[in-house]
Structure 1
Amino acid sequence: MSAADCQVLAASPAASSGAAHVEAPVAYGAILLASFGGPEGQDDVIPFLRNVTRGRGIPEERLEEVAHHYRAFGGVSPINDQNRALKAALEAELAARGIDLPVLWGNRNWAPYLSDALREADERGLRTLLAIGTSAYSSYSSCRQYREDYAAALAETGLEGTVTIDKVRQFFDHPGFVQPFVDGVRAGLAEVGGTAKTHVLFSTHSVPIADADRSGPRDLDFGAGGAYAAQHRAVAEVVMADHPGVGWDLVYQSRSGPPTQPWLEPDINDRIAELAADGVTGLVIVPLGFISDHMEVAWDLDTEALETADAHGMTAVRVPTPGVHPAFVSGLVDLVLERRDGVPTDERPALTALGPWFDVCRPGCCENVRLGFKPAVAGIAP
């Protein structure tokens, strides 16, 4: 692909070439911590869910069904407090290393919004941003949708051409992300007793199969489930390398589409029932797809999945998400320094053969079949 063919929206000069890995230093002005967002009170719940589902024609009755999960926790999603904690931890790690980079925080679906963060950046003269999305894997909802929302926020604020936004690579196999799960599985197996009657379930958010199959660059074949499933399987294999006698599966949770639309399976609760029928008595549940204990973890795992295991007479533990684990926080700062310093690709740590992942997403990466391609930063168009 020639330089003339590369169209990378709102990129720093170093990333505008479209190179898969950017090995030139970039003088970033700030880090943009970007997350999903969540309600912070009962009155916020339905407006928040309308934001999440905008343009999808979801009826109010279905929103009320989902709202039940939030209302069980007082209408407060844990995600915003977790992002405040992560922001503070990143700031502390940066300060400890003597790195002068402010951390701005913006959400896709609730205050503070990405547009708020961009306005703050512009007002402070911080116009070369490096985004850290709070999702480690490649798919429409976990990567491209973030990139589209960065582009939409630039358009909304009128800062296109003024503010640039690059992003760190998807960090599914970075040691800082993986280590907390290694620690958690080791402790979980010790708690339930790592025997032939113990099984490990690696759980992540289900997505439509059509979208999963299109995750990752479209010129690479990752098999069924695309890069999204392949990345999760590869990380699970790394985590289980020290436990060769213990069975494990990759399972899915939190599907929200109509029954007629195929989503990734098996569902975690269905798999728990099957394992119980096979004589498994101990479960270690690993929230592999999540960086913190937000609603899908608090409800779908800590409530529903643990209740399913209990109903089948199984002993089950859920291991921690990375949260503000020191290795994770340090790893995120290392990812920032990769881009700031232009670290050569062969010096970037990755624990699976799939990494290190791309700095600049490839053309057509992570297409949403229903919505098509919208403008997105940090990747070659479309």
Structure 2
Amino acid sequence: MTETHPDTAEVPHANDASAAGHPHSLRPQEYDAILLASFGGPEGQEDVIPFLRNVTRGRGIPDARLEEVAQHYRHFGGVSPINEHNRQLREALVQELHSRGMTLPVYWGNRNWDPYMEDAVQEAAANGHNRLLAVATSAYSSYSSCRQYREDFARALINTGLAGVVRIDKVRQFFDAPGFVQPFAEGLAAALREFAAEGFAPEEIRVLFCTHSIPTADAERSGPGDQHFGEGGAYAAQHLAVGAKIMEQLAAESAAQPGTAWELVYQSRSGPPTQPWLEPDVCDSIAELPDQGVKAVALVPLGFLSDHMEVLWDLDNEAMEAAEEAGLRAARTPTPGIHPTFVAGLVDLIQERIQAVVAQERPRLTRLGPWYDVCRPGCCENVRLGFRPAAAGVAP
């Protein structure tokens, strides 16, 4: 990536090595703890509506409408799997860190449910840990998947009175880090080989890389404000680049045969019908496949780290039902979860930041990487909310 801003820019709430605002750290930084940052989810029926109120705070959505979404959670006993996944991921990170001789504790804080980000920051400070390096459970660039986590950090520090005491940096977005991409490639390779064994010809197979839809206006503002990534902004460009890389890798390994087509599709939109969101919708795309001669479809949850609600409901339920209605053989491939390669890759990112590895030597699989250690000015603006205080990036 190209540096377009001065190294003297101010980065709020940053540790010393990141405070100057250079896109990639130029000198090593000693951190004393890791902060695992996530979305959060309900853990019982009584939690569901309060959780959804947190998710939609400030939008004035009545409980009657929230109950429509709540049914997805109620189908699973009111429990989102994301919290249990984060417990497992936290433990896996601790074990991987220890295997490398790193004794950094891992704190865990959520945006929308217990344990909240404020709780994690206060716990760290109480234990004497005030130089934190955050790992967010989202790989791509957009408001909700990057900048909003940075706002969470700033809000937690301000609300707890720990601004200026605790400092928080964040590892780079890891959409094209090998450890993140490899589990998807392995899962898709297995699905394609199974389809081939069942007698489907390459041209009868379609790969759908699935990710969360976001408002089109926000997508256009994803990534640095002074760079143009085409339709869908950096968010779409990153997904498309990773999808292309996976198909290229599988073709080289003979897992994907010539003639196997793929596309990027979206799911889980939640905005009003009048607001444009990224398309095509996964179920709409599935419905069109039979007319294109497709008989088998692989659903690859490329935008998701774990099997949380958007995967279990929107893919395993709605998309698989759409495939059945279309008469298609369908397979949903795994998310990274706590795949050893993925966990090791996250710790690689932590070590990379501690050691200030130069950008040219950082592992990445697309021309878009390696992404920034310190987010650039104007990055991932939310059209509705504008720029709010955020850590781990050059203001605004």
**Structure 2 residue aligned with 1:140:** 143
Deviation by residue 1:332-364 (Cα, 9 ceiling, x = unmatched): 000000111111111100000000000000001
Verify the 8 A CA contact 2:6 2:22 in the aligned structure 1: no
Verify the 8 A CA contact 1:8 1:378 in the aligned structure 2: yes
**Structure 2 residue aligned with 1:9:** 12
CA RMSD of aligned residues (A): 0.9
Aligned counterparts, 1:75-114, within 5 A: 75-114=78-117
**Structure 2 residue aligned with 1:358:** 372
Hey, what's the Cα distance between the residues in 1 that align with 2:53 and 2:281? 25
Aligned counterparts, 1:338-357, within 5 A: 338-357=352-371
**Structure 1 residue aligned with 2:296:** 282
Equivalent residue of 1:14, what SS? helix
What is the aligned counterpart of 1:298 among 309, 312, 318? 312
**Structure 1 residue aligned with 2:130:** 127
Hey, what's the Cα distance between the residues in 1 that align with 2:278 and 2:219? 8
Deviation by residue 1:158-208 (Cα, 9 ceiling, x = unmatched): 100000000000000000000001101100111222621010000000000
Equivalent residue of 1:77, what SS? coil
For the pair 1:74 / 2:77, whether they are aligned, the reply is: yes
For the pair 1:272 / 2:256, whether they are aligned, the reply is: no
**Structure 2 residue aligned with 1:52:** 55
Hey, what's the Cα distance between the residues in 2 that align with 1:369 and 1:2? 26
Verify the 8 A CA contact 2:7 2:22 in the aligned structure 1: no
For the pair 1:327 / 2:341, whether they are aligned, the reply is: yes
Structure 1 unmatched runs, 5+? none
For the pair 1:195 / 2:202, whether they are aligned, the reply is: yes
Deviation of residue 150 (structure 1)?
A: 0.7
For the pair 1:230 / 2:237, whether they are aligned, the reply is: yes
Distance 1:187 1:205, change over 3 A: same
Equivalent residue of 1:272, what SS? helix
Verify the 8 A CA contact 1:192 1:317 in the aligned structure 2: no
**Structure 2 residue aligned with 1:161:** 164
**Structure 2 residue aligned with 1:217:** 224
Deviates more, 1:351-360 or 1:234-243: 234-243
For the pair 1:311 / 2:325, whether they are aligned, the reply is: yes
Hey, what's the Cα distance between the residues in 1 that align with 2:377 and 2:91? 35
TM-score normalized by the length of structure 1: 0.98
Hey, what's the Cα distance between the residues in 1 that align with 2:90 and 2:109? 11
Q: Stretches of 4+ moved more than 6 A in 1?
A: none
Deviation of residue 9 (structure 1)?
A: 0.8
Instruction: Tell me the amino acid that sits aligned with residue 35 of structure 2.
Output: L
Hey, what's the Cα distance between the residues in 2 that align with 1:223 and 1:231? 11
Deviates more, 1:304-313 or 1:56-65: 56-65
Instruction: Tell me the amino acid that sits aligned with residue 206 of structure 2.
Output: H
Identity of aligned residues (%): 65
Deviates more, 1:58-67 or 1:219-228: 58-67
Hey, what's the Cα distance between the residues in 2 that align with 1:181 and 1:278? 25
Hey, what's the Cα distance between the residues in 1 that align with 2:148 and 2:295? 39
Hey, what's the Cα distance between the residues in 2 that align with 1:372 and 1:95? 41
Equivalent residue of 2:289, what SS? helix
Equivalent residue of 1:333, what SS? helix
TM-score normalized by the length of structure 2: 0.95
**Structure 1 residue aligned with 2:178:** 175
Deviation of residue 2 (structure 1)?
A: 4.0
Hey, what's the Cα distance between the residues in 2 that align with 1:290 and 1:166? 23
Instruction: Tell me the amino acid that sits aligned with residue 113 of structure 1.
Output: Y
What is the aligned counterpart of 2:214 among 180, 194, 207? 207
Deviation of residue 61 (structure 1)?
A: 1.8
Verify the 8 A CA contact 2:239 2:264 in the aligned structure 1: yes
Give the aligned length.
Answer: 381
Hey, what's the Cα distance between the residues in 1 that align with 2:85 and 2:372? 27
Verify the 8 A CA contact 1:86 1:324 in the aligned structure 2: yes
